[in-house]
Amino acid sequence: MNEELRQQIQAAQTDMEPRFKALRSATSALKGAQRLADQEKADALPMQKALVKLEQALTLMEEESLPTVSLQAAVDAFAVETNRALDGLAFDFARDLKESFEERGETVTGRPPTLVVDPLVLQIDIGARKAQWFYGKEALTKPLALSLNAILKAYDQQRKQIVERKTDTDAFLQELYQAWSDLHAEKSRRRINVVEAYSKLVMNRQSGRFWNAPSRSTFKDYDRQFFVRDMVLTRDADPVLTVTDEKGNEQRLRLRLTGATKSQAESASRSLWLPTTPLDGEYYADVVFEEA
């Protein structure tokens, strides 16, 4: 056989194979979507998987410059129905969850994907079949399976740790002032970043055992969500701190927080969100102590 002819045929096959692959992918994805569309009742989660395959097939077709008008229309229509089915699934789950809380005498507000059991917030991701508890912007749990028992159990744990947390706001304010004072001495400025102050407060809490042999086992944890909760409780209590200056004079000081700029609010290392309600609050950037 002519070697040149063989190479030409092989080159044509190599050139055409990606197009055949794209067409096979589109045909397979459409058949799967058709089977689901023929069902009497929309099945949200299989539809979501089928939509992903349709979108992947569409991408392959576009990469090979193949006609996509009809496929794009099918993908768009299937996406609308998939989202409608997912919304229905989310509302069904939220209804069952609300009923479970109400049986315990607790009230749930909001609508999927965001439910509120004051002051905690549950964010539901039906597509991933997960849900996660938050306090303000702070995640309290990892994403949890959509199990009523698992979500209720996690809520009870977080309610005990966060909502029922007992904080001596006067003692906390003294600790925060010490952290602020240490950083003020280091940096020679009155405005101290709130996350820096949090980090300094954590280090000030470490025992001599940690400093003698620093390790994970000797480190005393103080998770960020607890700091947020303590800040909220202290802000709401608005205590006044009495300190003695270098000359022996007493000063009465009050904590003030300054709002974050847009760029600061976009960084968890430069700002802190303090909730005023489960869904509302404000980003803060700096801690300042001023005369009361």
Range of the domain at 148: 106-163
Pair 78, 188 in one domain: no
Mean pLDDT of the chain: 91
Residue, of 272 and 187, whose pLDDT is higher: 272
84 neighbors 42 (Cβ within 8 angstroms): yes
Q: Specify whether 231 is located in the same domain as 156.
A: no
pLDDT of residue 145: 86
Model confidence at 154, in pLDDT bands (50, 70, 90)? Answer: very high
Please give the average per-residue pLDDT across 122-143, as a whole number: 93
> Which of the pair, 179 or 45, is modelled with greater confidence?
179
Same-domain status, 185 and 276: yes
CA distance 274 to 281: 6
Residues 174 and 228 in one domain: yes
The predicted structure's pLDDT at residue 246: 74
Q: Are residues 146 and 177 in the same domain?
A: no
Tell me, yes or no, whether 113 lies in a domain. Answer: yes
Length of the chain: 292
Q: Where does a domain end: 163, 193, 208?
A: 163
SS3 240: strand
User: Does the pLDDT of residue 116 top 70, yes or no?
Assistant: yes
pLDDT tens sequence across 86-110: 888 888 889 999 999 999 999 999 9
- Using pLDDT thresholds of 50, 70 and 90, give the confidence band for residue 279: very high
Q: Is residue 96 part of a domain?
A: no
How many angstroms separate the CA atoms of 256 and 275, rounded? Answer: 16
Same domain, 173 and 277: yes
Judge if 145 and 184 occupy the same domain. Answer: no
Number of domains in the chain: 3
The residue out of 61, 89, 117 marking a domain boundary is 89
Tell me if 59 is assigned to some domain: yes
The pLDDT score that the predictor gives to residue 124 is: 93
Cβ atoms of 222 and 165 within 8 Å: the answer is no
What's the whole-number mean pLDDT along residues 24-30?
Answer: 91
State the pLDDT confidence band at 176, using cuts at 50, 70 and 90: very high
> How far apart (Å, rounded) are the C-alpha atoms in residues 98 and 111?
10
What is residue 9's predicted lDDT score, i.e. its pLDDT? Answer: 77
Residue 274 · residue 136 · CB < 8 Å? yes
In a domain, 234, yes or no: yes
Whether residues 215 and 135 fall in one domain = no
pLDDT digits (tens, 9 = 90+) for 233-273: 999 998 888 887 777 788 899 999 999 999 999 999 999 99
Per-residue pLDDT averaged across 3-15, rounded?
78
Does 193 lie in the same domain as 144? no
- Establish if 99 belongs to a structural domain: no
Statement: residue 5 has pLDDT above 80: no
Residues 248 and 209 in one domain: yes
Single residue among 146, 163, 180 that ends a domain in this structure: 163
Of all residues in the chain, the percent with pLDDT exceeding 90 is: 62
Ordered DSSP codes for 129-187: TEEEEEETTEE-S--EES-HHHHHHHHHHHIIIIIT----HHHHHHHHHHHHHHHHHHH
Closest CA to 135 of 105, 111, 110, 155: 155
* 148 and 104 Cβ atoms separated by less than 8 Å: no
Peptide bond into 113 cis (omega under 30): yes
Please indicate, yes or no, if residue 94 is contained in any of the structural domains: no
pLDDT tens-digit readout, 189-198: 889 999 999 9
Check residue 24 and report its DSSP letter. Answer: H
Looking at residue 1, its pLDDT comes to 61
Average pLDDT over residues 174-189: 92
